[in-house]
Amino acid sequence: MNAPLQNDTFLRACLRQATDYTPVWLMRQAGRYLPEYRETRGRAGSFMGLATNTDYATEVTLQPLERYPLDAAILFSDILTVPDAMGLGLSFAQGEGPRFAKQVRDEAAVAELAVPDMDKLRYVFDAVGSIRKALNGRVPLIGFSGSPWTLACYMVEGGGSDDYRHVKTLMYARPDLMHRILAINADAVATYLNAQIDAGAQAVMVFDSWGGVLADGAFQAFSLAYSRRVLSQLKTHANGQRVPSILFTKGGGLWLDEIADAGADVIGLDWTVNLGRARQQLQDRVALQGNLDPNVLFAPPEAIRAQARAVLDSFGPPQGPEGRMGGHIFNLGHGISQFTPPEHVSALIDEVHRHSRAMRVR
Amino acid sequence: MNAPLQNDTFLRACLRQATDYTPVWLMRQAGRYLPEYRETRGRAGSFMGLATNTDYATEVTLQPLERYPLDAAILFSDILTVPDAMGLGLSFAQGEGPRFAKQVRDEAAVAELAVPDMDKLRYVFDAVGSIRKALNGRVPLIGFSGSPWTLACYMVEGGGSDDYRHVKTLMYARPDLMHRILAINADAVATYLNAQIDAGAQAVMVFDSWGGVLADGAFQAFSLAYSRRVLSQLKTHANGQRVPSILFTKGGGLWLDEIADAGADVIGLDWTVNLGRARQQLQDRVALQGNLDPNVLFAPPEAIRAQARAVLDSFGPPQGPEGRMGGHIFNLGHGISQFTPPEHVSALIDEVHRHSRAMRVR
């Protein structure tokens, strides 16, 4: 039995309920910009050594919460755990991005794919349970996965890419195979996120990091349709509590209306989107999360504070019967850079809380 | 005195005049995917050796026109010639992107910048003259430059980047210095493009390759404002002929209305944009160029043809008093990949010409 939640601001904002201020958390908030993270990672030996060890994963998940008054924790893990559990062999070379030992580029490789046994991902669910216990009700815990399309990008390319040549070649040349991969991914991701919810995740986020590289038309058919398939299968409640879902498509600003209809409670936005215009366009039918350029955090604290206020002001004042409703969760528009000075994050969090409170009492 | 133009379809489409079919050319059409290009480059020894030699530049510019019935030629050069002429020392290491010997990151480095003496870029204007002569009126010749912002990205980063950390840090921390760089770049680019027009360029294109990495608000202030400053200084006529201008912002789909008001005759679009919706949104007040995903060219010819038709159909049928007006120039949404099979390009060009003629006689 987990401790009762002391700060539910994030969850309330996800559901567009009244809050006293705008909650804030940062994508990749437990990460390399923190010296304490680098210390733990050194002890763990490797990224996967860190992510697959319950104690380490718990330790690093809580590190940013010790430094900053963040309004949510996010499971320390990787977006690619699911294809790893499918047997593709995930690894992280020093200073490089993720790599898969096997690439999925032909009919035979696709035929071998299946929704993995969730026992292979037990380390993730164990971490979720351990983190919930360690959080002791301070703030909610967010679980997550890569989207079906984003997983497919890595599975076909075998790692990161700057042109997505292999995955797009498969998509344009053999759409039938691509749909098969995506259907399996979608069902695997849904099963995985539901197991995270069972283990204690209080919200879940789908990272469609590479949806924005697709052409108009292809995005809807190959990315969004399968994110929708995930979202439609998710548990909406656990222990009587609503479990909000967040869908973040980097570079998805041109498709906001369609993304907002995919079934998520919250839409994540990158910094190219005008937050106020997005809110108006979507008529407050979903909550919005974002969208500061992470590079703002390299500027001096006063400039960071000004940019944070600009984001809050762009979303605009809270509305609704209590004058406190808004449905904005402050975040970056992408993961925080490893080169970020940690003290700059303090200025950001402080300004978001301070200014958003001031917006409510005006 | 240059020969009279035999095929003015491209120029007419830029000005939204009637054409018998939709003209097509491809960004980076003279490039590594062509074996004859690789042969010439081997003889030249290096990329800059190729670009700075009038005979080589002429030879490679014409190579794709020998293979394919393209409707325009584009000067073989690089978008970074201007900062090179500013003394920053451009080079291309084997298999790597561009590098500058000097980086512009502080007040002292910015103070040294100035609009370069155009004599240092004479090799470009000589190439333009030589190519015009070699073309002998077959198709029009397009000149080009990087946009002020895109040049600044390379000048501050010292090369390519995946996070634009240095240039954005300067922008957020010292906007005054960034504006100074951009003002110099804008005046340099305008002078450079006008000299290309004087040398014989029949249209000019501004490549804002990295405008799309900016946050909403920052894009308008740091990229678009300076592209506008370039466009406002350009000669609109040469030898009594209109010289159309094209502005291409990769990732600029969210800002189409503002981009369309920047003063260019044609707006380049990448593949994330819905061409039909863009045309409707912009009310045919500019011509549109684009926007096939270059990765489509890895699919089999029949799939390429289907995707080409989809782009043409998305733009929609020609309109206007003669029933032939449209203002669409078919292109990719980014440069052609070096891995493209050359014979696939034949299928693309053929289908664009065939289908767009058919659309006009319906």
Question: Model confidence over B194-208: pLDDT tens digits?
Answer: 999 999 999 999 999
Query: Hey, CA dihedral for B74, B268, B225, A298, is it positive or negative?
Result: negative
Given the residues B154, B208, B265, B270, select the one marked as catalytic. B154
Average pLDDT over residues A306-328: 84
Q: Give tens-digit pLDDT for A163-215.
A: 999 999 999 999 999 999 999 999 999 999 999 999 999 999 999 999 999 99
Report whether A153 contacts A20 (CB < 8 A).
no
Q: Which of A281, A297, A274 is nearest to A351 (CA)?
A: A297
pLDDT at B96 over 90: no
pLDDT at B15 (0 to 100): 95
Q: What is the pLDDT of residue B360?
A: 87
Residue A51 corresponds to which tokens in the numbers above?
């992510």
Distance (Å, whole) CA B14 – CA A281:
32
| pLDDT of res. B20 | 93
**Residue B142 pairs with which residues in a beta bridge?**
B74, B203
Put simply, the answer to whether A173 touches B298 (Cβ < 8 Å) is yes
**Closest to B291 measured CA to CA, from B24, B76, B63:** B24
Prior bond of A7 cis (ω within 30°): no
B220-258 pLDDT, tens digit each: 999 999 999 999 999 999 999 999 999 999 999 999 999
**Beta-carbon separation of B299 and A273 below 8 A:** no
List residues of chain A with CB under 8 Å from any CB of chain B. Answer: 163-165, 168-169, 172-173, 212, 214-219, 251, 253-254, 271-275, 291-293, 295-296, 298-300, 303, 307, 310, 333, 337, 339
Is there a catalytic annotation at residue B68? no
CA angle at A289 for the pair A284 and A295, rounded to the nearest 5°:
140
- Please indicate whether, in this complex, the C-beta atoms of A272 and B219 are within 8 angstroms of each other: yes
| Nearest chain A residue to B336, by CA | A163
Half-sphere exposure of A228 (CA within 13 A, CB side): 12
Instruction: State the Cα–Cα distance between residues A184 and A179, nearest whole angstrom.
Output: 9
Q: What are the start-end ranges of the E strands in B44-170?
A: 73-74, 90-92, 98-100, 141-146
| pLDDT tens profile A232-280 | 999 999 999 999 999 999 999 999 999 999 999 999 999 999 999 999 9
CA angle, residues B101, B107, B109, in degrees to nearest 5: 20
Q: What's the token pair of residue B274?
A: 């819905």
**Cα of A217 to nearest chain B Cα, Å:** 8
Catalytic residue among B8, B71, B78, B208: B78
Q: If we measure between CA atoms, which residue out of A101, A52, A87, A264 comes closest to residue A188? A: A87
Give A-chain residues touching B298 at CB under 8 angstroms: 165, 168-169, 172-173
In this model, does residue B164 exceed pLDDT 60? yes
* Residue A159: both structure tokens together: 């790692």
Backbone angles phi, psi at B237, to 5 degrees: -135, 150
Residue B164, classed as helix, strand or coil, is: coil
CB contact under 8 A, A307 and B254: no
Q: What amino acid positions of A are annotated as catalytic residues? A: 28, 32, 41, 78, 154
Give the distance from residue A62's alpha carbon to the nearest chain B alpha carbon, in angstroms.
27
Q: How far apart are the first and last CA of chain B?
A: 40
The 3-class secondary structure across chain A, one letter per residue, is: CCCCCCCCHHHHHHCCCCCCCCCECCCCCCCCCCHHHHHHHHHHCCHHHHHCCHHHHHHHHHHHHHHCCCCCEECCCCCCHHHHHHHHCEEECCCCCEEECCCCCCHHHHHCCCCCCHHHHHHHHHHHHHHHHHHCCCCCEEEEEECHHHHHHHHHHCECCCCCHHHHHHHHHCHHHHHHHHHHHHHHHHHHHHHHHHHCCCEEEEEECCHHHCCCCHHHHHHHHHHHHHHHHCCCEECCEECCEEEEECCCHHHHHHHHCCCCCEEECCCCCCHHHHHHHHCCCCEEEEEECHHHHHCCHHHHHHHHHHHHHHHCCCECCCCCECCEEEEECCCCCCCCCHHHHHHHHHHHHHHHHHHHHC
- pLDDT at site A325: 64
Q: How far is CA A290 from CA A273, A330, A331, in A?
A: 9, 5, 4
Asked if B222 and B149 touch (Cβ cutoff 8 Å), the reply is yes
Mean pLDDT of B70-82: 96
Average pLDDT of the segment spanning A130-154: 98
Task: For chain B, list the strands marked E by DSSP.
Answer: 73-74, 90-92, 98-100, 141-146, 203-208, 237-238, 241-242, 245-249, 266-268, 287-292, 328-332
Tokens representing A296? Answer: 């703002």
**Rounded average pLDDT over A327-341:** 97
> What mean pLDDT is reported for chain A?
95
Confidence bin at A324 (pLDDT 50/70/90): low
Query: What residues pair up with B252 in beta bridges, in sequence order?
Result: none
B contacts of A275 (beta carbons < 8 Å):
216
- CA B348 – CA B346 distance, rounded (Å): 5
**Any residues with CB less than 8 A from the CB of B53 and at least 6 apart, and which?**
B44, B123
Q: How far is CA B322 from the centre of its chain?
A: 29
pLDDT class of A343 with cuts at 50, 70, 90:
very high
Give residue A362's pLDDT.
59
Q: Which residue of A has its CA nearest to B276?
A: A216
pLDDT tens for each residue of B299-352: 999 999 999 999 999 999 887 655 556 799 999 999 999 999 999 999 999 999
Which pLDDT does position A326 carry in this prediction?
Answer: 74
The token pair that represents B293 in the structure block: 């995903």
Burial of A11 (0-12, 13-18, 19+ CB in 10 A): buried
Q: Which of B169, B214, B339 lies closest to A299 in CB terms?
A: B169
Bridge partners of B242, per DSSP, are B237
Q: Looking at beta carbons, which pairs linking B306-311 to residues 24 or more positions away fall under 8 Å?
A: B307/A172, B308/B348, B308/B351, B308/B352, B308/B355, B309/B351, B309/B355, B310/A217, B311/B275
Quick one: pLDDT band at residue A323, thresholds 50, 70, 90?
A: low
Spell out which residues of chain B touch residue A307, defining contact as CB-CB under 8 Å. Answer: 172
Chain A residues in contact with B274 by the CB 8 A cut-off are 216-217, 254
User: Is B163 considered catalytic here?
Assistant: no
Give the CA radius of gyration of chain B.
19
Is A282 a residue whose pLDDT tops 60?
yes
**Does residue B273 contact residue B290 with C-beta atoms inside 8 Å?**
yes
Nearest-by-Cβ selection for A303 from B172, B251, B271: B172
pLDDT the model gives residue B318: 80
Confidence of residue A49 (pLDDT cuts 50, 70, 90): very high
Tell me, what's the pLDDT at A1?
72
Chain A, chain B: beta-carbon pairs less than 8 Å apart? 97
Q: What pLDDT, on the 0 to 100 scale, is given for residue B362?
A: 58
Closest CA to A311 of A22, A18, A69: A22
**pLDDT reading at A320 higher than 80:** no
Which among A249, A46, A83 has a CA at the least distance from the CA of A158?
A83
- The mean pLDDT value for B67-86 works out to 97
